[in-house]
Chains A and B, each alone.
Chain A
Amino acid sequence: MTESPIAGSTRVWDLPVRLFHWLLVPLIAFSWWSGEEHYMDWHRLSGYAILALLVFRIWWGFAGSRTARFGQFVRSPGTVLAYAKTLGSRSAHAADGHNPLGGWSVIAMLAVLVTMVVAGLFAVDVDGFESGPLADYVTFDQGRAAAEFHETVFNAIVALVALHVAAIVFYLGFKRLNLVRPMITGRRARAAGEAAADVRWSPLLALVGLVLAGAIAWAVSTGFRF
């Protein structure tokens, strides 16, 4: 699917990537808040929604548009190092999608979020009253350990989000590159003489991912008791 190109701009993020990103933001905030306030029914629902998003995003890493694919944005350590060395120079040049460093940030974010969700699925509260949908597959002590790990991993999420925001501020302030607007509109300005094609994506593959994500999140939420 492509939309009519605006002159002088190029489409770098497909709609599913942007939806994934902007749905994740309030869901993480809501998960934190509902967990802190002990609204555990809401907390579980929010977790299932995040699980569905993660399943979709992993699927989309293979089935999505050019810039959504792991194969495109997960780069070798050498490439990452070479890119890191250019960070000090102000001459900004926009990457086609994730830059080599940002690609690994995406992997770290996904890994930490998957860890968070999985720990939550097995977590048991101190009263043995509230628990994740898979907690009956583990003992009380194991469930408590999962809950404590779930709390610890949250710190890693906060750290990665802080790094993410700091990087955006750095690119905006130092490199004069607005990374937020393209994540909203999908488009960024085309550099002079640049011929990067608009990203293309298949609505059918997106639908497959949607069904897959919904099915897995639902199955997990029932504790695999259908």
Chain B
Amino acid sequence: MKRMKPLALAAVGVLGLAALAGGATLATAASSASTAITARQANFKKMGGAMKTLKDELSGGADKAKMIAAAKTIAAAGRKQGDLFPAGTGPSSGAKTDALAAIWSDRATFDAGMKKMIAEADKLAAVAGSGDASAIRAQFTATGKSCGACHRQFRADN
């Protein structure tokens, strides 16, 4: 067996390392995509659950503390969402997501919609403790519409 020259050996080693590193980078990208997706989905579920709490309270007990907490949950979770849609976490990432590619091709509209939703949720938190059922209901509807507006444009399965 012919011995490999040290240089060739080194080259093979470097290539191997590069391949490993490349693979690792890909794996990291994939797992960070799915981390972002999992995190934003959990946030959206929190927000949906909080919306339901508000709706339940509006048609039932109208518990002020519960409504304020729910509205604040929506605003707080909403504030985290913008950062959880980094490039590469759309449908092309291969991960299971209803996020449409339009989010990244029309990012300005998406971000504006997100901002609007946070603003509406803040207003909802402000009015939730007022005891004025019709004002709360109106702001609840405005908040809900801000969810739906984006979902129709940027979410699949709708």
Residues of A within 8 A of B (CB): 38, 124, 126-131, 135-136, 139-141, 143-144, 223, 225
Complexed CA–CA distance, A127 and B142 (Å)? 12
Interchain CA distance A126-B158 in the complex, whole Å: 9
Binding site for A on B (CB under 8 A): 44-45, 47-56, 59-60, 143-145, 147-148, 151-152, 155, 158
Task: Identify 16 residue pairs between A and B in the complex whose beta-carbon atoms are under 8 Å apart, listed by A's number.
Answer: A38-B152, A126-B48, A126-B155, A127-B47, A127-B144, A128-B54, A131-B52, A135-B55, A136-B59, A139-B49, A140-B45, A140-B49, A140-B52, A141-B45, A141-B49, A223-B59
A136 contacts B147, C-beta separation under 8 Å: no
Q: Which residue from chain B places its CB closest to the CB of A137 in the assembled complex?
A: B56
Query: Number of residue pairs across A and B with beta carbons under 8 Å?
Result: 56
Report the Cα distance A130→B151, complex, angstroms.
Answer: 13
Q: How far is the CA of A124 from the CA of B144 in the complex (A)?
A: 13
* CB atoms of A128 and B51 under 8 A apart: yes
- CB within 8 Å for A127 and B60 given contacts A38-B148, A140-B45: no
Partner of B147, one of A129, A139, A144: A129
CB distance from A136 to the nearest CB of B (A): 4
- State the CA gap A143–B52 with chains docked (Å): 10
Q: What residues of A have a CB within 8 angstroms of the CB of B52 in the complex? A: 124, 128, 131, 135-136, 140, 143
Report chain A residues within 8 Å CB of B48. Answer: 124, 126-128, 140, 144
Instruction: List chain A residues, Cβ under 8 A from B144.
Output: 127-130
How far, in whole Å, are A124 and B147 apart by their CA atoms in the complex? 14
- The chain B residue with its CB closest to the CB of A222 is B59
Kindly list 6 other residue pairs between chains A and B, CB separation below 8 angstroms, not including A128-B51, A135-B56, A136-B59: A127-B151, A129-B144, A136-B56, A139-B49, A140-B52, A141-B49
- Cβ contact within 8 Å between A126 and B59: no
- Residue numbers in A under 8 Å from B148 (CB-CB): 38, 127, 129
CB pair A128 B60 closer than 8 Å: no
Question: CA–CA, A196 to B2, complex, Å?
Answer: 102
| Docked pose: A128 CA to B60 CA in angstroms | 16
- Contact A126/B151 with A136-B60, A140-B45, A225-B60 known, Cβ cut-off 8 Å: yes
On whether A127 and B51 interact (CB within 8 A), knowing A38-B148, A136-B60, A225-B60, the answer reads yes
Q: How far is the CA of A129 from the CA of B147 in the complex (A)?
A: 9
Residue of B nearest to A36 (CB): B158
A140 nearest CB neighbor, chain B only? B49
Q: How far is the CA of A65 from the CA of B56 in the complex (A)?
A: 43
Q: How far is the CA of A139 from the CA of B45 in the complex (A)?
A: 12
Bound CA–CA A38/B143 (angstroms): 16
Nearest chain A CB to B77 CB, angstrom units: 12
Contacts of A129 in B (CB 8 A): 51, 55, 143-145, 147-148
> What are the residues of chain B within 8 A of A143 when measuring CB–CB?
52
A43 CB to nearest B CB, Å: 14
Bound form: Cα–Cα A140–B52 in Å: 7
